[in-house]
Structure 1
Amino acid sequence: MNNQKPINADIIKSHVDYLKELKAKGKLVLCGPFTDYPGGMVIISAESIIEATKIAESDPFIASGCKTFEIRTVELANEENNYLL
């Protein structure tokens, strides 16, 4: 996410409230600002790129035009799938 226009306390509160809503729905995996680079990351669980895009576009940071987003997909490597071996 890149800053496109200034953010204020109201937008930040709306963004945090939205993250809490995603968590309550089981969609938020993790999130936070980068410590070594501008912006941050929100990792969500979505059934499709379409759903992920809708979730991102509904974030107040994005909907307000304050920030941009980029979607990436990941294939989970874990013990259950032998780390994709």
Structure 2
Amino acid sequence: MAQYVVQLRFDVDRTDRRMEVRPAHREYLAALKADGKLVAAGPFTDQTGALLVYDVADEAELRDILAKDPYTPADVYEIATFAEWQPLFPFS
């Protein structure tokens, strides 16, 4: 398994669309959390983006997860950071 950090940058011109899709996005994240694929997630307090930490087999699995996220077809974000992460102090 590998951990990845993904930072999303929200499209401010599509905020209304993001708000429409957000309940489905959060349900999707909750299912990923229950399956052990999502370690942590949340928006920045200024609502400009979000940070997500995933625990997946490999990059291909994560790209598949991101493709299925309701935010992706709604086109409400861009990926600012996509990196495999080596935590020094893991979440407990």
Q: TM-score range by the shorter chain?
A: 0.7 to 0.9
Aligned position for 2:35:
25
Provide closer, same or farther for how the CA distance between residues 9 and 35 of structure 1 changes in structure 2, counting only shifts above 3 A.
Answer: closer
Q: Among residues 53, 76, 82, which one is paired with 2:87 in the alignment?
A: 76
CA RMSD of superposed structures (Å) = 2.1
More displaced stretch, 70-79 vs 60-69: 70-79
Q: Which structure's relative contact order is higher, taking Cα pairs within 8 Å and 6+ residues apart?
A: 2
Q: For 2:83 and 2:29, locate their aligned partners in 1 and report how far apart those are by CA, in whole Å.
A: 18
- Identity of paired residues, percent? 25
Q: Does 1:45 align with 2:55?
A: yes
TM-score by length of 1: 0.76
Contact in 1 for aligned 2:18/2:76 (Cα 8 Å): no
AA of the residue aligned to 2:88: A
Structure with max Cα Rg: 1
Choose between structure 1 and 2: higher strand proportion. Answer: 2
Contact in 1 for aligned 2:42/2:50 (Cα 8 Å): yes
Provide closer, same or farther for how the CA distance between residues 37 and 9 of structure 1 changes in structure 2, counting only shifts above 3 A.
Answer: closer
Aligned position for 1:54:
64
Deviation at 1:53, TM superposition (A): 1.0
Deviation at 1:77, TM superposition (A): 2.2
Which contiguous aligned blocks of 4+ residues in structure 1 show a shift greater than 3 angstroms?
none
Aligned length: 79
Listed as ranges, the gaps of 5+ residues in structure 2 are 1-7
Listed as ranges, the gaps of 5+ residues in structure 1 are 80-85
